Chains A and B, each alone.
Chain A
Amino acid sequence: MAKTLFDKLWTMHEVAPDGDGASLIAIDRVMLHERTGGVALRGLAETGRRPRAPSRVFAVMDHIVSFREGRGPNDARLPGGEVFITETRRMAQEAGVHLIDTDDPRQGIVHVTAPEQGIAHPGVSLICPDSHTCSLGALGAFAVGVGSSEAEHAMATGVMRIKKPAQMRIRVNGRLRPGVAAKDLALHIISAYGAGGAERRVVEYAGSAIDALSIEQRLTLCNLAVEFAAFTALIAPDENVLKYVEGRPFAPSARNLDEAKAIWSDLYTDDEAIFEEEIVLNADKIEPMISWGTSPEQCIAVDEAIPVINALPATKRDQAAKAMAYMDVSPGARLSACSVDGVFIGSCTNGRLSDLREAASVLRGRKVASGVRAVCVPGSQGVRCQAESEGLDQIFRAAGFEWGEPGCAMCFYAGGETFPPGARVVSTTNRNFEGRQGPGVRTHLASPATVAASAVVGKIVGADTLSGDKMAAP
């Protein structure tokens, strides 16, 4: 019988049925971070249990670490946050799991570090108590974001009990136009089908526009699947993925690589396989996107007008009105009229090298508008080192950006210093929820290029505004 990519991953990891349509699924790797992973290690310790396979558990510091340059090993970005770092470190050491500590050259946001280190690769089943774990499906990994107790369960038992989800394929034909990023594609999909659109389905992205995406762009696209209510996301691994994975520290060693590749070569959806739902899109029509509201589904093209309330479906109107009040935007208006107070470039969504390059290409030779606080935080030490060796940090700094130490940084407010209440912030992150970046802060989600252009102009604009004649006049 024809199988989907997900069917094959399911079979590969299925230990045994466990009743009611659920199965015990073998979990090859567990990733933890100090915000929600420490409590999972603590739960194990309190119940006298130990990780079954500590060598397949990886604890990374990313959520609470300070992003100030020259931070110390315990420096947190919020008062009292040190305890998350020190406790997670202590418990990781006691449990004997891999620890990628604050001063480790491999340190970074868990979903940036996992592919870089080869921890995530095709066919791996991996869970992490973090909702953006779905990013790693971009490599053909079976990657699921879970709660802390589920991570504790997987460490203790080696498995996760899962009811097999329904499946959806999103086929994106054509090709994204130059200047349109994977971020724009993801926001387009969420705005078109709603924040609940995937309804717990596994979403497989396919089609010529997906094939043409770089690995990093695929990670961005899959990262946002959780904002679409997907169980997880997947892209069938191709030659580019194999090239990307080979030789990374926790990828298959040379001794096992051929055998691994033989298994990976079957990781694709068979022609006749059936999905519960199929969506077909044309990439050529997609434009740079930006969110205007407080849900990732409240998005428009950058130069489009904000919807008029009555033009929205009845069930969306109350939420839209509430969002517009919070965001201080008007129905029918254009966001280009809005002054920007801050920008942030980074996060597990857009904190990889190609994201920084994309932003730097807009910023080169330009300055951030006066009154705009601009912050760039690379997603990992690996990204930071490479960016610095290419001189990207100099471009950001010369433009007036702060340049930070890797971590989740300003993607979410956890206490401590942030943008002031009421600030309008254009951000490469994944959530524009009320207060996400600080009490009263108004977040607009966009691609790195759009964020960079908005920083320069001081208004919400697409990067095309800065190209050609429009930028010539001083």
Chain B
Amino acid sequence: MSRRPPFSSHTGVAAPMLTDNIDTDQIIPSREMKTVSRDGLGDGLFAGQRYQSSQSRAENPDFILNQAPYRNASIILAGANFGCGSSREHAVWALAEYGIRSIIAESFGEIFHGNCGRNGVLPIILDKPDVLVLADHVRKDPQKHVLNIDLDAQRVKAQAASLSFSFDVDPYQKRLLMGGLDPIGLTLTRKSDIDAFLKNDVKRRPWIYE
């Protein structure tokens, strides 16, 4: 899998996980981070709820992503402050490897939100009532009531119910996602600005560069 698959539009099954404050410890428990790597984390996604115990991989049938209608979900519908807590980017890497392409939430943890775009995952903020309408619609028949996300047009649609919501997206994040771009490469196009700043700053604040 590419580190940054480009995102233009996506249609998929959405899983409602509407509890507020779903933190990155829940998304990927620390015990599931086994190597110094971005890969191999999908299996540990939501491990604390997804499996019957920390010692086994026997599925917990109560967990939404283990239930047949949601098993191939690629979108999560979430409440407030999704991805709060630990800065671990492993949370986004785990979601992406599992196949989640977008999270639609009332709000996001700040660091998690920033981590999404550079890993091919689109975070969408909608008002709570809109998220709830989508969740109600999806629950009626998750496999048929798929959601369509058009990043270029900035719209989430549920065609089966003629629902359509527009969303804001940071233009930079949009550019990164649509192009599957490398943020470092983009910033390095500004190298002359950075060099000029440093040349001046070393005189202004020499102790930083001691």
Binding site for B on A (CB under 8 A): 12, 15-16, 18-20, 22, 24, 26, 28-29, 35-36, 38-39, 42-43, 47, 49, 53, 56, 78, 80, 83-84, 87-88, 123-124, 129-131, 133, 145-150, 152-153, 156-159, 161, 163, 195-196, 199-200, 226-227, 229, 231, 251-253, 256-257, 259-260, 263, 295, 315, 318-319, 322, 412-415, 431, 433-436, 439
Contact = CB atoms under 8 A, between A and B. Distances in A.
B53 A433 contact: no
Given A260-B207, A434-B26, 13 more contacts: A12-B205, A24-B193, A26-B197, A29-B208, A36-B88, A39-B36, A53-B209, A131-B85, A133-B87, A146-B87, A196-B81, A431-B23, A433-B23
Contacts of B29: 413, 435
A147 B184 contact: no
A260 B31 CA distance: 43
A315 B128 CA distance: 11
Interface string B68-101: 0000000000001100111111101000000000
B87 A130 contact: yes
Nearest to A318: B19
B194 to A, nearest CB: 5
A434 B19 CA distance: 13
Contacts of B197: 15-16, 26
B87 A36 contact: yes
A49 B188 CA distance: 12
Nearest to B193: A16
A259 B206 contact: yes
Nearest to B119: A149
Contacts of B85: 131, 226-227, 431, 433
Minimum-distance CB pairs A-B, first 4: A252-B207, A147-B89, A147-B115, A415-B31
Interface string B32-50: 0111111000000000100
Interface stretch (B106-114, B136-144, B148-156, B157-165): B106-114
A11 to B, nearest CB: 12
B2 interface: no
B92 to A, nearest CB: 7
A49 to B, nearest CB: 7
Nearest to B24: A131
Q: Which of A195, A253, A413 has the most CB of B within 10 A?
A: A195
